[in-house]
């Protein structure tokens, strides 16, 4: 009979859950994970990882369309959409198996099934592995699912969530994307780069609304230049389903018009998976489908914690991982652990051009009362960007004019999702403009622009 008594039980094996379990095991705690579907969760199986595999293929498609720019020529270039999807699934499956290996390596017990709190220190598992488990500490990491809208409910055929958008049987010729956050824009970019006619509808007044306004405006101009149709301050008021396409009635700025598309992707946010996990009858509080926690990820119920997408924003895999480590180290009594500052969580959108940011936007910094110095540097001024054939983009930094604190960094262009970690380190180390300006950046690299934008904020830019 399998052991059922543990120090820590984690409900959910996604990025937050499996990382929390590994860290708990490293700290000598007897640990179990309960996962109802796939180790790695949505991110690894149906989110972050497979979408990046898809986007890589669309990047290659874009490069192939520009072969002449690099001195190459080729005839009859085509792609097999089925193989593009298959590659994405193989990548996800490989990594899911890798998480399984990590569980064994760290001696974390894995229970297949659905879990629910069943009284103080108890978890009931139903499904493949029925069991009654016990632990002093229980971490809820059940994640979230796609939000639906009345009249736009996904049906798996004509109206998709991210899941159907990743494994379509055929490539649609036209697509309507409702919502322009990271998920919506990534799918819009993927399909557009493969030749699909894409229309984006966003209810707010700009796309990528969590980003700095300048970055949002730059992104919109770039996407529209690629042929994407974008409607902001707009809403889908009705959706008529036909045999193999849909007709959407869109209302924007007092005008109503129709958009016809073969498929619709609904990307309007997420809903926390808080149902049927036993929170009822506990002191844990749920607000707007997400579990309320304190700075140490503890809920109102003693011994019960929550991390990842089931708690507050930003809803990002790397935040969930950090929360998992923070939560477990706090449980273990380590005195080196610090509460999470969400301003130090970088955000990345893997569209073309890529978008990345950390900290406060210029508008938010001013609203918070900071006197600001702002630096900007364009990709066209960088030798490596020109050599790569990627001169479109910009990097923007926001500093406190009095203290020199780096308040925020906002980037759009090739590989900014890799560059942003430099500013993440700077913010975590509480660097000022002095440290950043005195740092030597290698040449020729895209990272030189990170240096130049700091210099520009203080009137010292060299290459512009």
| Catalytic annotation, residues | 443
C-alpha 438/C-alpha 422 separation (Å) is 14
C-alpha 391/C-alpha 252 separation (Å) is 33
User: Which neighbouring-strand residues pair with 375?
Assistant: 397
Give φ, ψ of 428 to 5 degrees. Answer: -65, -35
Question: If 0-12 CB within 10 Å is exposed, 13-18 middle and 19+ buried, where does residue 155 land?
Answer: exposed
C-alpha angle with apex 387: 382 to 393, nearest 5 degrees? 45
Please, what is the angle between helix 15-26 and helix 317-331, to 10°? 30
Long-range contacts from 277-282, C-beta under 8 angstroms, 24+ separation: 277/11, 277/115, 277/116, 277/117, 277/140, 277/142, 278/116, 278/117, 278/118, 278/124, 279/117, 279/140, 282/117
Query: Kind and range of the H or E element at 314?
Result: none
C-alpha angle with apex 418: 414 to 421, nearest 5 degrees? 135
Q: Are 67 and 73 in contact (CB under 8 A)?
A: yes
Question: If 0-12 CB within 10 Å is exposed, 13-18 middle and 19+ buried, where does residue 148 land?
Answer: middle
State the pairing for strand pair 290-291/229-231.
Answer: unpaired
Q: Are 284 and 152 in contact (CB under 8 A)?
A: no
Ramachandran class of 180: left when φ > 0, alpha when ψ lies in -120 to 50, beta otherwise: alpha
Size (the chain), residues: 464
CA distances from 277 to 67, 138, 272, 444 (A): 53, 12, 12, 53
State the pairing for strand pair 144-146/131-140.
Answer: unpaired
* 430: nearest Cα among 404, 453, 451, 394: 404
The SS3 assignment for 279 reads coil
């Amino acid at each position: 009979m399998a052991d059922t008594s543990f120090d820590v039980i984690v409900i959910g094996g996604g990025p937050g859950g499996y990382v929390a379990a590994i860290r708990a095991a490293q700290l000598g705690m007897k640990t179990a994970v309960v996962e109802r579907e796939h180790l790695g969760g949505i991110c690894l199986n149906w989110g972050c990882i497979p979408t990046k595999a898809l986007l890589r293929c669309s990047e290659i498609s874009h490069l192939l369309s520009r072969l002449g720019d690099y001195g190459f020529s080729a005839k009859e270039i085509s792609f097999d959409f089925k193989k593009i999807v298959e590659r994405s699934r193989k990548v996800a499956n490989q990594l899911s198996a890798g998480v399984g290996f990590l569980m064994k390596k760290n001696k974390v017990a894995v229970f297949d099934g659905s879990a629910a709190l069943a009284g103080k220190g108890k978890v009931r598992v139903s499904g493949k592995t029925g069991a009654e488990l016990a632990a002093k500490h229980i971490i809820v990491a059940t994640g979230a699912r796609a939000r639906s809208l009345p009249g736009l409910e996904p049906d798996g055929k004509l109206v998709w969530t991210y899941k159907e958008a990743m494994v379509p049987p055929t490539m649609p010729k036209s697509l309507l994307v409702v919502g322009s956050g990271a998920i919506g824009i990534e799918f819009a970019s993927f399909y557009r780069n493969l030749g699909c006619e894409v229309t984006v509808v966003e209810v707010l007044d700009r796309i990528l609304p969590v980003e700095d306004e300048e970055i949002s405006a730059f992104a919109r101009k770039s996407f529209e230049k690629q042929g994407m149709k974008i409607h902001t301050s707009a809403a889908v008021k009705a959706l008529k389903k036909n045999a193999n396409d849909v007709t959407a009635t869109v209302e924007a700025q007092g005008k109503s018009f129709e958009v016809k598309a073969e498929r619709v992707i609904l990307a309007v946010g997420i809903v926390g998976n808080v149902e049927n996990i036993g929170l009822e009858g506990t002191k844990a509080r749920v607000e707007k489908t997400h579990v309320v926690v304190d700075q140490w990820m503890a809920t109102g119920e003693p011994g019960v914690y929550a991390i990842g997408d089931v708690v507050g924003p930003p809803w990002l895999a790397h935040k969930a991982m950090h929360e998992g480590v923070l939560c477990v180290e706090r449980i273990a009594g380590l005195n080196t652990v610090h509460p999470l500052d969400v301003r130090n969580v970088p955000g990345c959108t893997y569209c073309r051009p890529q978008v990345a940011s950390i900290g406060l936007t210029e508008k938010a910094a001013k609203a918070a009362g900071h006197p600001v110095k702002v630096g900007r540097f364009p990709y066209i001024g960088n030798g490596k960007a020109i050599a790569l054939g990627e001169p479109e983009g910009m990097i923007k930094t926001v500093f406190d004019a009095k203290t020199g604190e780096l308040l925020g960094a906002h980037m759009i262009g090739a590989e900014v999702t890799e560059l942003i970690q430099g500013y993440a380190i700077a913010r975590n180390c509480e660097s000022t403009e002095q440290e950043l300006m005195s740092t030597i950046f290698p040449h020729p690299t895209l990272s030189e622009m990170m240096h130049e934008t700091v210099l520009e904020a203080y009137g010292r830019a060299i290459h512009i």
